[in-house]
Structure 1
Amino acid sequence: MLQKAKYSKLIKTKAKRLGFMSCGISKAGFLEEEAPRLENWLKQDMQGEMHYMENHFDKRLDPTKLVEGSKSVISLLLNYYPSALQREDSYKISKYAYGIDYHFVIKEKLKHLLQFIQQEIGEVGGRAFVDSAPVLDKAWAAKSGLGWIGKHSNLLTKQAGSFYFIAELIVDLDLEYDLPVTDHCGSCTACIDACPTQAIVEPYKVDGSKCISYFTIELKNELPNTYKNQFDDWMFGCDVCQDVCPWNKFSKSHNEPLFDPNPQLLNFDRKDWEELTKETFDEIFRKSAVKRTKFDGLKRNIEFLKE
């Protein structure tokens, strides 16, 4: 027992040194509560054209089926809240995509954390995950005591709101486990009331196929005209439900230089974006998550936003 506590403390201290906001640990196993929720969500076609959500159902709910011999899920949060925002008269990009693609930044940190665990503790097997495999990261972060799932379905913490990435190391090592925290959304419905496309269909349930992030990033076809003038000037992603959340009053700027944006991103107004060339796109978003939607996708989104 003492050894488990010692190892857990060691891991959390190293995670802080690597720049993670916080670290929580839970026992790897079947996510009993999430199973029926995920099943119903898929049955109602709330994944839209995100067909990958239908794959690996068992692995998505049980990391022991994903990583052989896994015993613990180490959940980590990394702040991305920017120190400066885009101009008011600009088409908007979700704050998480301001800088270098978070996959690269976090994978590097997780690699160092796993190497540290192996050096300090011994032969430990494990895998790192950053939003790119069938892992229910928000569920694991909540289980690990890092926050609660808010009515907008994002993880929330009293200290820092919700502007952070979630990542995991799933390892074959027994550790000391953290306890979940209580829900502090209360009677607030700010996120539900503010959603421009009414994608939050009920508290804690988001219809992914109605979300602006889904339309501007995941949807590869034409944008549906029924949603014309409902995108609130978002050309990549959407932060509305987070922006209006009272807990995000406590967000503090990140200290990760790789998340700092190209200055043009902050200085461009709507006209600049409307005249965007492929060369400028490649320059501003050289290693950015915005590359996911590609130049043509971003141009499609901008055209849709124009009056």
Structure 2
Amino acid sequence: MDVLKGTYSQLIESKAKDLGFDACGFTQAEELTAEKEILKKWLDNHMHGNMHYMANHFEKRVNPSKLVEGAKTVIVLLTNYTPKEKQSHPDAPIIARYAYGQDYHYVIKDQLKQLYSYIKDEIYPSLEGRYFVDSAPVLERSLAVRAGLGWIGKNTHLIHKKLGSYVFISELIINLTLPPSEPIKEACGGCTRCIDACPTQALTSPQTLDARKCISYLTIENKESIPQEFSGKMENRVFGCDICQEVCPWTWKSRPHTNEKLKAVTKILELTKERWQELTAEEFSEIFRKSAVKRAKYTGLKRNIEFLLSKK
């Protein structure tokens, strides 16, 4: 039976690659005991800022088996989004690389659906489960580590040896028992480039992020005014921030993705500084119609742009 289950894993991994995923791993659906304590401490220290949802469904967040009755395995998948393109104008406000193309939620959700259907139709007719990509209380990076897909870097990102950290993480939680993948060792060594490079000192220590100081949080999750203490420290970032990834040697090794559905949107990359400043609500709706940038909403994006312009 173990041999058969091993074959199942190989079939699933092969199908995942065919569907466009770049890496696939397996781990047991069980309580994440060590991570539970780390998350509790982080929440108790209010480092999640106004992301109140991070404290919701706590027991489900630290135990994927509570999300699916009878769950046995979590299949964790990585999708490389390293772009080959860059924003055209060096003085234009900068957006995070993951927002260059179509909103990844739609692209990956469709691939997850196809993989789930494949497992049910071709491998295990009694399959039951759910699939997620940023749509449920799941400690996805911790699950990816347990599934042998990398380690948590000092910048708190998952780092894959070949893909770097520009990856989307998604998962299927299912009632099929599969052998867990072997975790790999952390390989940051003595490097502290990410901590040293953070302009707002959001990385308070290795693997600890104070979201309240993070540019990504301030420009996306934060719905209030950006505190003046960050004036002049935003590094021209208007939506998200990649600085702690840009300086990581492991990210330098990553190759551009080949997923046509995640191809960068030319209209977004070609926006000039002036166009960003003059952006109307109608233009925002048209240009970012299928982009993750719409998460900030027009009012949030205008707030960010105005904050950059007001820097002292």
TM exceeds 0.5? yes
Ranges of 4+ aligned residues in structure 1 off by more than 6 Å: none
| Secondary structure of the structure 1 residue equivalent to 2:33 | coil
Once structures 1 and 2 are overlaid, which stretch shifts more, 147-156 or 252-261?
Answer: 252-261
CA RMSD, Structure 1 to Structure 2 (Å): 0.9
2:71 alignment partner, SS class: coil
2:253 equivalent to 1:250: yes
Does 1:272 find its partner at 2:265?
no
2:176 is the alignment partner of 1:179? no
Task: Give the letter for the 1:285 counterpart.
Answer: F
Q: Distance in 2 between matches of 1:114 and 1:264?
A: 34
| Identity rate, percent | 51
Q: Deviations over 1:219-253 (max 9, x none)?
A: 11111111111110010000000000011111111
Answering whether residue 172 of structure 2 is matched by residue 169 of structure 1, we say yes
**Equivalent residue, structure 2, for 1:41:** 42
Structure 2: any 5+ residue segments left out of the alignment? none
Superposed displacement of residue 279, structure 1: 2.1
Q: Is the aligned partner of 1:160 residue 2:186?
A: no
State the SS of the aligned residue for 1:33: helix
Q: Secondary structure at the match of 2:69?
A: coil
2:90: which partner in 1?
Answer: 88
Deviations 1:154-186 (A, max 9, x none): 000121211010000000000121011000000
User: Within 5 A, what are the aligned runs for 1:29-108?
Assistant: 29-86=30-87, 87-108=89-110
Alignment counterpart, residue 236 of structure 1, candidates 214, 236, 239 = 239
Alignment match, 1:6? 7
| Cα distance in 1 between the residues matched to 2:274 and 2:28 | 51
Counterpart of 1:302 in structure 2 is: 305
**What is the identity, as a one-letter code, of the residue corresponding to 1:190?**
R
Aligned-partner SS, 1:258:
helix
Structure 1: state its 5+ residue gaps.
none
- CA drift at 1:264: 2.2
Q: What TM-score does the superposition give when structure 2 sets the normalisation length?
A: 0.97
Return the alpha-carbon distance in structure 2 between the equivalents of residues 167 and 129 of structure 1. 6
Q: Secondary structure in 2 aligned to 1:75? A: strand
- Taking structure 1 as the reference length, what is the TM-score of the superposition? 0.98
Per the alignment, in what secondary structure is the counterpart of residue 194 of structure 2? helix
CA distance in 2, matches of 1:176, 1:236: 40
**Structure 1 residue 268 displacement after superposition:** 1.8
**Post-superposition shift, 1:261?**
2.5
- What is aligned with 2:226? 223
- Does the residue aligned with 1:120 lie in a helix, a strand or coil? helix
Q: How many equivalent pairs are there?
A: 307
